[in-house]
Amino acid sequence: MGRAPVPAAVAAYGRSMRDQRLPTSPDFWRSPLRGTWFTSVLGLVLLAGITVLFVTGLLSYAAYNPDLSPVNDQTPDKGLLGFYLFSWPTRPAWLYRLNQGVHVTLGITLIPVLLAKLWSVVPKLFTLPPARSLAHALERISLLLLVGGGLFEFVTGVLNIQLDYVFPGSFYPLHFYGAWVFFAAFVAHAVLKLPAALRNVRGLREERGELHAPRPDPPTVSRRGALGLVGGGSLLLFGTTVGHSFDGVARQTAVLAPHGGSEPGSGPNGFQINKTAAYARIDPAETAADAWRLVLTGRTGTLRLSRADLARLPLYSSALPIACVEGWSTSNQWWRGVRLRDLAALVGHDRPTDVYVESLQRHGAFRHAALRANQVGDERSLLALYVNGEDLDPDHGFPARVIVPAAPGVLNTKWVARLTFGDLR
């Protein structure tokens, strides 16, 4: 990194580059804040934070059980990128809630750090000559993947949780494949820069590298002050987002986050809704007592049960949360209904098996969903008829909905019309 003094022979060439009106000139960049220590501190925070984002992202992907059935799989051509997939467990019940809360809240919290890091290294974007060596040229191409990929991931994530689907395609493949492109560049960057970053932060060597402004303006804030602003921004975002994973007063503190602030309603069915009955175009006529029948199919044939028939079966209670891929979640709701494994037994599956769930929902992803045998077999997995002591209301899936511990919200199918038990693989 340390540069030898510029030999006199290249000084003339250097002068022509040093037109300070151009960003290619080091003199163009005047902030006295830029420097290796500042960049290294931010880089190390991002190294830890983005690693957690990547791992929680991969776990969230596994939580959908994409290898179980095509309906769960938004990325059928994943190939080797699904190498680590495993049967998503049902314990602890708050597993997905925690995973996704960390993924989204941490992602939001890291935005100021990301912006500050990019600000601190922006002079390097304009450095001339474009490449000092083949290795350096490749590194700069890799940086495009790093910066473009990082921003792509953060932007698609932030837009998706606000339901602003303006990006070019479905969120799942964009965010998932984009994450791998980004991560490939991220690992290379970390390997190349980590030793220097650690050296810089420990202060073993005061390097005056290319990030330092050669002719800085007078400082308006110290480096520690600037880091304080970045940290303050992160703290503000954390404080106004983390409440979306809790209820009541805590949710009120998530003043700008989606599903923050107030609950959509009051009473037993007043908790957060992912998709309303209006969105799913559920016609009240088809959920009426004389119209709606649950179609159960299994080894011994098909049964058609009314809601009253279901209510006469043994009913059980489970206290389980709703946790959305978008990061928000509710605390435990008190669900009551028929165990999925009891329904499986009604159609001849005494040992837990997979189930294919179909909803009355007309359009949208995940109106059909598959659950694995371990999810069907869990005693807390229900086809719920009641929540918090009352009938489900239409927005929460009346006449009946699936609720499975630790599963992503969209796999807890609402307005269930048909359950087909049997091996899906």
Partner 1 sequence: MKRRIPAGSRLRAMQRRIPVGSPLQILLLACSFALAGYAAVRLLAGDWLGVTLWFVGAALLHDLVLLPLYSAADRALVRGCAAVGRRERLLYVRVPAALSLLLLLIWAPLITGAVDRSYRLAAGQSTDGYLARWLLMTALLFAGSAAVLALRLRRAAKHRPPAAH
- Integer Cα distance of 393 and 328 in angstroms: 20
Is the alpha carbon torsion for 100, 102, 103, 105 positive or negative? positive
Beta-ladder partners of 198:
none
| Candidate list 4, 9, 80, 204; residue touching partner 1; CB under 8 A | 80
Q: Which is nearer to partner 1, 142 or 306 (CB)?
A: 142
User: According to the binding rule CB under 8 A, does residue 185 interact with partner 1?
Assistant: yes
Residue nearer to partner 1 on the CB measure, 17 or 81? 81
Residue 278 within binding range of partner 1, rule CB under 8 A? yes
Residue among 369 and 373 whose Cβ is closer to partner 1: 369
The binding track of 114-133 with respect to partner 1, each residue x by CB under 8 A or -, is -x--xx--x--x-----xxx
Is the CB of 9 or the CB of 308 nearer to partner 1?
9
Which residues, in sequence order, are bridge partners of residue 370?
A: 356
Position among 14, 19, 128, 136 found at the interface with partner 1 (CB under 8 A):
136
Report in angstroms how near the CB of residue 129 gets to partner 1 at its nearest: 9
Going by C-alpha positions, the residue among 338, 318, 331, 352 that lies closest to residue 399 is 338
Binding to partner 1 by residue 159, rule CB under 8 A? yes
Instruction: Report in angstroms how near the CB of residue 17 gets to partner 1 at its nearest.
Output: 16
Q: Does 285 bind partner 1 (CB under 8 A)?
A: no
Quick one: 224 or 350, whose CB is closer to partner 1? Answer: 224
* Binding residue (CB under 8 A) for partner 1 from 25, 40, 72, 75: 75
* Residue closer to partner 1 (CB basis): 168 or 301: 168
Among 108, 242, 282, 406, binds partner 1 (CB under 8 A): 108
Find the shortest distance in angstroms from Cβ 101 to partner 1. Answer: 17
CB of 165 to partner 1, least distance (A): 8
Q: Considering beta carbons, is residue 321 or 405 the nearer one to partner 1?
A: 321
**Shortest CB 120 distance to partner 1, Å:** 11
How far is Cα 170 from Cα 104, in angstroms, rounded to an integer?
A: 18
Among 4, 8, 12, 191, binds partner 1 (CB under 8 A): 191
- Residue 247 binds to partner 1 (criterion: CB under 8 A): no
End-to-end Cα, the chain, rounded Å: 55
Contacts of 270 (CB under 8 A, 6+ apart): 263, 264
Binding characters for partner 1, 337-376, by CB under 8 A (x = yes): ----------------------------------------
Residues within window 200-229 making contact with partner 1, judged by CB under 8 A = 220-221, 225, 229
Q: How far is the CB of 109 from partner 1 (least distance, A)?
A: 11
Distance of closest approach, residue 359 Cβ to partner 1, in angstroms: 15
Query: Which residue among 41, 58, 63, 257 contacts partner 1 (CB under 8 A)?
Result: 257
Query: How would you write the chain as a 3-class SS string?
Result: CCCCCCCHHHHHHHHHHCCCCCCCCHHHCCCCCCCHHHHHHHHHHHHHHHHHHHHHHHHHHHHCCCCCCHHHCCCCCCHHHHCCCCCCCCCCCCHHHHHHHHHHHHHHHHHHHHHHHHHHHHHHHCCCCCCCCHHHHHHHHHHHHHHHHHHHHHHHHHHHHCCCCCCCCCHHHHHHHHHHHHHHHHHHHHHHHHHHHHHHHHCCCCCCCCCCCCCCCCCCCCHHHHHHHHHHHHHHHHHCCHHHHCCCHHHHHCCCCCCCCCCCCCCCCCCCCCCCCCCCCCCHHHHCCCCCCEEEEECCEEEEECHHHHHHCCCEEEEECCECCCCCECCCEEEEEEEHHHHHHHCCCCCCCCEEEEECCCCCCCCEEEECHHHHHCCCCEEEEEECCEECCHHHCCCCEEECCCCCHHHCCCCEEEEEECCCC
- Best CA proximity match to 90, nearest among 65, 72, 113: 65
Could you tell me how far CA 425 lies from the centroid of its own chain? 27
Identity of the residue, 151 or 213, whose beta carbon is nearer to partner 1 in the bound complex: 151
- 39 or 90: whose CB is closer to partner 1? 39
Query: Nearest approach, Cβ of 291 to partner 1 (angstroms)?
Result: 24
155 binds partner 1 (CB under 8 A): yes
* From candidates 44, 85, 98, 184, binder to partner 1 by CB under 8 A: 184
Residues 386-425 touching partner 1, rule: CB under 8 A, are: 395
Rank residues 124 and 199 by Cβ distance to partner 1 and give the closer one: 124
Site size toward partner 1, by CB under 8 A: 81
Establish if 112 lies at the interface with partner 1 (CB under 8 A): yes
